[in-house]
Amino acid sequence: MQDEKVVELIRRMRHDFGNHLQVILGYLELERPREVKEYIHGLIGQTQADRIIFEHVPEETALYLYQQVLGAADLGLILYFRELKISSCELLQKNDEPLATLKRIRPALRGTDEDLVVEVSLFGGDGEVVLVLHSQHLETSPLSVSIRE
């Protein structure tokens, strides 16, 4: 089952990479080098933000959290992780978190043309995980959500 998740992640990353190249090519064909530069800087920023996932948690947790980042993108959200102080992702997986919480709060984030950025910190272990969400697009920020077995 783990191999299937990795293959699906690679498929998604290849698809996204191709889309990024098409955007860059489009800007170049329109002779808009400033937009190319801004777009590439945005990609670099996202890559740097994702480093916390791949450098601070075990591989299985990193895979799961990166899938959550991609799921958030499908909702039109940019998900960044601030702090990751969890001993396991098992409880998160059982509850599809933080994506389930993002789906619940997504309607409250509507009404803006900007990129909808949500930063999440995770604290806890097997019995409870606390999600702390920060966003300038939330009426109440930070928002804390406790996930228990």
pLDDT tens profile 82-112: 999 998 888 999 999 999 999 998 887 765 5
Domain range for 126 is 2-148
DSSP symbol at 140: S
Specify the number of domains making up the chain.
1
Cβ 127 vs Cβ 87: under 8 Å: no
Instruction: State phi, psi for 135 to the nearest 5 degrees.
Output: -165, 140
Sequential pLDDT tens for the chain (149 residues) = 577 888 888 898 899 999 999 999 999 999 999 999 999 998 998 888 888 898 888 888 899 999 999 999 888 889 999 999 998 888 999 999 999 999 998 887 765 556 788 999 999 977 899 999 998 888 887 989 999 98
| Helices 33-56, 59-74: inter-axial angle, 10-degree rounding | 140
